Amino acid sequence: MDAEVGQEVKATLEARRELGPDHDEQLIAGFLERMERTLAEHGRSAPHRRGLDLRLPLGSMALGVGATAVANSDAHGAGGVIISIVAWIAIALINLAYARRR
């Protein structure tokens, strides 16, 4: 299988030399498709990325800050604080559920 991978890499690099950097995305996509097919033929699965996806946590924190500002500007006193606490607990629970799902 290593020889197949080496041949695919060489073919992709040669195509890049001929086509230029404008076609990098297509060449990479094609290379990855061929590698996934090769792995499937050999009974292996493609490795899964285990990176951090920060879109949900950062987005929910931004919404939480906005919700806190609205809650504290509209309801003076303990009402705004309670609404803010409930909103942040809900945000934390959603983020925990999302993290455990992955």
For residues 41 and 93, give the distance between their C-alpha atoms in angstroms, rounded to a whole number: 41
For residues 29 and 16, give the distance between their C-alpha atoms in angstroms, rounded to a whole number: 13
For residue range 16-74, list pLDDT tens digits in order: 888 887 888 888 888 888 888 877 777 765 555 566 677 778 888 888 888 788 777 76
User: What count of other Cβ atoms lies within 10 Å of the Cβ of residue 87?
Assistant: 19
For residues 1 and 86, give the distance between their C-alpha atoms in angstroms, rounded to a whole number: 55
- Structural domain for 35, as ranges: 2-41
Tell me, yes or no, whether 31 and 65 share the same domain. Answer: no
| 33 domain-assigned | yes
| 50 domain-assigned | no
| 48 domain-assigned | no
Token pair for 80? 């705004």
Please state the pTM of the whole predicted model.
0.43
Alpha helix ranges (H) inside the chain:
2-19, 24-41, 55-74, 78-101
Tell me, yes or no, whether 22 and 59 share the same domain. Answer: no
